[in-house]
Amino acid sequence: MPPSQPPGGGLPAASELLDLERSQIAHDLHDLLLPLIFGASATVQSLAAKAESANADRDVVLSDSARQQLGQVNDWLREALSLGRNLLTEIYPPELESLPWLMAARDTVAKICGANRDVTWQVSEGTPLADPDLDRSVATSAYRILVEAVRNAVRHGEASAITIKCDDARMVVQDHGKGFDPESVPTGHFGIRAMKGRAALVGNRVVVDSSVGGPTTVTLHFDCAPVE
């Protein structure tokens, strides 16, 4: 059982990690989901006001412009619904209940990356991620680290291609994106710290290597295997 306060000084304890998770979710809701809902609401209110003042008998015929606005509202609401479902999935990965880890991971990565990014998987037979008896907490930790790494590659790195390697000692996620300076990550960004915390809670370790211009490599070392 991992200690309640992971070693290393810079990693969060379990309670702090939960706070980081809540903060990350709150950030995503505030910056991604709520603006979409607000835009839809503002447009609907504008259309309602125009319809109310259009004529006294309320026999209103929508113009082409109004129809386009309603179409935009519909698109916003669909996007908000999809985003909300994705956020809920990241909180609790139900696919791990019904699918082997690798199958669930491949499916989720494909959904995150879409059709416009190349994803390459290199899986060794000895990887513990292919073990059907893999400890649930370890499986969940690795899954969420993978999702976070791929999500960051798409959202922040604007990666055109992602390579995922799984062997007996590690899982490596490398993206061919724009990269970043690890020393200049804003304090409000919890992604890297959360990945390290998830790994430490189950006795593993995450190393992130990047530079401006890329690539970015996220490595999950199983059982604190030494870095080569």
* Average pLDDT of the residues in 89-106: 78
Burial 75-101 (b: 16+ CB within 10 A, else e): ebbebbeebbebeeebeebeebeeebb
Give the model's pLDDT for residue 6: 45
pLDDT band, residue 96 (cuts 50/70/90): confident
Instruction: Say what the alpha-carbon torsion angle 139, 24, 189, 93 is, to the nearest 10 degrees.
Output: 20
Among the residue ranges 72-86, 161-175, 206-220, the one predicted with the least confidence is: 72-86
Model pTM score: 0.62
Mean pLDDT over the full length of the chain: 78
Q: Provide the 10 A C-beta neighbour count for residue 27.
A: 13
* Average pLDDT of the residues in 69-89: 72
* Average pLDDT of the residues in 60-77: 75
Give the model's pLDDT for residue 56: 46
Q: Reduced to 3 states, what is the DSSP secondary structure of residue 189?
A: coil
* Average pLDDT of the residues in 55-78: 70
